[in-house]
Amino acid sequence: MARKIGSRYTANQILGRGSAGTVWLGEGPEGPVAIKLLREDLASDQELVGRFVQERTALLGLDHPHVVSVRDLVVDGNDLALVMDLVRGTDLRTRLDRERRLAPEAAVAIVADVADGLAAAHAAGVVHRDVKPENVLLDMQGPLGPGGSHPALLTDFGVAKLIDSPRRTRATKIIGTPDYLAPEIIEGLPPRAAVDIYALATVLYELLAGFTPFGGGHPGAVLRRHVTETVVPLPGIPEELWQLIVQCLAKAPASRLRASELGARLREQLPLLAGMPPLDVDSPDSEAAEPDEAYEETAEPSAPVARQRRGAVPLVPGAAPDSNRDTHTSMRVPAPDELAGGARGTARAPRATGAPRPGSARHRASARRRRITLGVAGAVLVAAIGVGTWIAVSGDDADATPQDTKNSAPASP
Ligand SMILES: Nc1ncnc2c1ncn2[C@@H]1O[C@H](COP(=O)(O)OP(=O)(O)OP(=O)(O)O)[C@@H](O)[C@H]1O
C-alpha cells in the first residue's frame, strides 16, 4: 500500500528490509527513488534525529558513480527517511549466495568499483563503517564490465554512524558486522578510513573463497580471530592479488593501502585475471555434519548461535530484521586477555577441493594414516639396519593449524 513520506515522496512497494528499517521503491518530484524508512523506535529517538540532521551535509554531498547517492533526508512526524538513488538490480550478497564464489576477474572488478567509491567518500571525510556484500548494489542497467560484472555501488553511507549513538556505544560497545570488523575497532579505537579497507579486503576474500577469513561460530570468537590470527592463503590465488589482500588485512591500520591505491592496483590486475575460473576452494561448511572443534572451543556449550555461519545479533537491541540476514553485532569491547585467546587458531583455513579440514574427523583420520605410514616406514628402516628398536613417530604437527609465514530494486521490466 502506498504511503506519503514528507510532502514530496510516496513509498509504493517494499524492496527489502534491513536491521535499521525498510527500503521502499518510491516516487519523488524527479522520478523513481529508493526510500529507506528507519524503524519507528529509531525515528522517535531525539538524539538520533539530531544526528540525522547534523550529518545532512556530509550525506547529501557524496556524488560518485560507485556510491548510491542520498538525495534527501526527511524528518516528518514519526517518519525518518533517507531518499536515495534507485539502483535497479540486486545486492552483492544475493549474487554471492547464488554463485557461491565469483571468478577472480568479476570479484576484482566489483571490489575495484567499491574502492573507487570509498576513495571519494574518504576524500570527503566520510568513513562508511559497514562495508559488506549486503551494502554493495549491482546496477543491472549499467554497462557490463570486466568479467561480465555490472557496475557496483556502495550504499548505506553514514547509516552506521547515525545509528551508532555515543549513548549506546560509549567506549564499551562495538557496532558493526563481526566478519568485517577491523581489529582496531575491536580494540576500542575510533574508526578511521582504514577500517573500510579492511572490510573491503574481507569482502574480496569472501567473493573469491565463498567464506570470510575470520568468520564462523560465536561472534566473540570472530572478534578474537580478527585481532590475533593471520589470514591463510587461498589455494590457487595469483600471488599479486593475494599480496594485496594480505596488505589490506594488515592488523596495523597504517599498513593498509588507501582506497584510491587499492582501486588502481586491482584494476591493473584485471587483464591477468581474464578468463580465470572461480578458485577451487572447498567450503569450510562442506563437512558440517562432522563435529567442529573450532566452534566447540570458542562457543558457549549451549549457545544457539554457535553454529551460525555469520554470527550476529541485531544492530540495535530489539531489532529483528525479517530478512534472514542478521548482520550486525552490538557487544562489549573484549578485554585484552580475552582477545589473546588460545594458543591454537580457530579460523576456518581454506583448503583445496577434496583436502580435509584441519580438526575434522577426516583430517584426524588422514593424520592418523600419515602417522601409521611414517611408523611403518620407520620400522622397515630400523629393521633394515638391524637395530631392532621401534621408533614412534609423533604426528602432533599434523594437527596444527597452517599459518601464513609471510604475514603475519528489481530490474525494470
Ligand atoms: N538504493 C537502493 N536501490 C534499490 N534497492 C535498494 C537500495 N537500497 C537498498 N535496497 C534493497 O533493500 C534491501 C535492504 O537494504 P538495507 O540497507 O535496509 O538492509 P541491508 O543492508 O541488507 O541490511 P542491514 O541494514 O541490516 O545491514 C537491500 O538488500 C537491497 O536489495
Instruction: Identify the CATH homologous superfamily for domain 3-84.
Output: Phosphorylase Kinase; domain 1 (3.30.200.20)
Given this model, what pLDDT does residue 27 score? Answer: 97
Given this model, what pLDDT does residue 52 score? Answer: 72
Q: Is the pLDDT of residue 237 over 90?
A: yes
3-state helix, strand, coil in the chain (%, to 5): 40, 15, 45
> CB 352: neighbour CB atoms within 10 A?
12
- Cβ atoms of 177 and 133 within 8 Å: the answer is no
Given this model, what pLDDT does residue 336 score? Answer: 58
Q: Is the pLDDT of residue 193 over 90?
A: yes
- 32 - beta bridge partners? 27
Q: Which among 19, 155, 163 is the best mutation to test ligand 1's pocket, defined by most ligand atoms within 8 Å of the CB?
A: 155
- Which DSSP string do the residues of 49-83 spell out, in sequence order? HHHHHHTHHHHHH---TTB--EEEEEEETTEEEEE
- Phi, psi (degrees; rounded to nearest 5) at 163: -80, -25
Nearest ligand 1 atom to the CA of 177 is: 27
- For residues 281-289, give the mean pLDDT: 61
Instruction: Identify the weakest region by mean pLDDT among 36-40, 159-163, 206-210.
Output: 159-163
Q: Is the pLDDT of residue 223 over 60?
A: yes
Nearest ligand 1 atom to the CA of 68 is: 1
Q: Is the pLDDT of residue 111 over 70?
A: yes
At residue 413 the predicted structure's pLDDT band, cuts being 50, 70 and 90, is: very low
Q: How far apart are CA 139 and CA 129, in angstroms?
A: 22
Whether ligand 1 lies within 6 angstroms of the CB of 19 is answered as yes
Greater confidence (4 vs 340) lies with: 4
Given this model, what pLDDT does residue 364 score? Answer: 46
pLDDT tens by residue, 49-67: 777 777 677 778 889 999 9
Q: For residue 155, how far is its CA from the centre of ligand 1 (angstroms)? A: 8
What does each C-alpha distance from 278 to 36, 37, 238, 315 come to in angstroms?
34, 37, 12, 33
Q: How far apart are CA 159 and CA 129, in angstroms?
A: 9
- For residues 205-223, give the mean pLDDT: 93
Residues with catalytic roles: 130
Q: Is the pLDDT of residue 345 over 70?
A: no
Q: How far apart are CA 368 and CA 51, in angstroms?
A: 60
Residue (of 72, 78, 91, 79) closest to 34 by Cα position: 72
Fold topology of 89-356:
Transferase(Phosphotransferase); domain 1 (1.10.510)
Whether ligand 1 lies within 6 angstroms of the CB of 358 is answered as no
Q: How far apart are CA 407 and CA 246, in angstroms?
A: 7
**Is pTM, for the whole model, over 0.95?**
no
Q: Nearest residue CA, atom 20 of ligand 1?
A: 18
Given this model, what pLDDT does residue 212 score? Answer: 96
Q: How far apart are CA 67 and CA 52, in angstroms?
A: 19
Residue matched to cell numbers 592418523: 368
Given this model, what pLDDT does residue 234 score? Answer: 95
Q: Which among 137, 140, 150 is the best mutation to test ligand 1's pocket, defined by most ligand atoms within 8 Å of the CB?
A: 137
At residue 349 the predicted structure's pLDDT band, cuts being 50, 70 and 90, is: low
- For residues 327-337, give the mean pLDDT: 56
At residue 177 the predicted structure's pLDDT band, cuts being 50, 70 and 90, is: confident
- For residues 151-166, give the mean pLDDT: 74
Q: Which among 22, 134, 164, 316 is the best mutation to test ligand 1's pocket, defined by most ligand atoms within 8 Å of the CB?
A: 134
The C-alpha cell that represents 410 in the structure block:
528489481
Given this model, what pLDDT does residue 134 score? Answer: 93
Percent of the chain with pLDDT over 90: 47
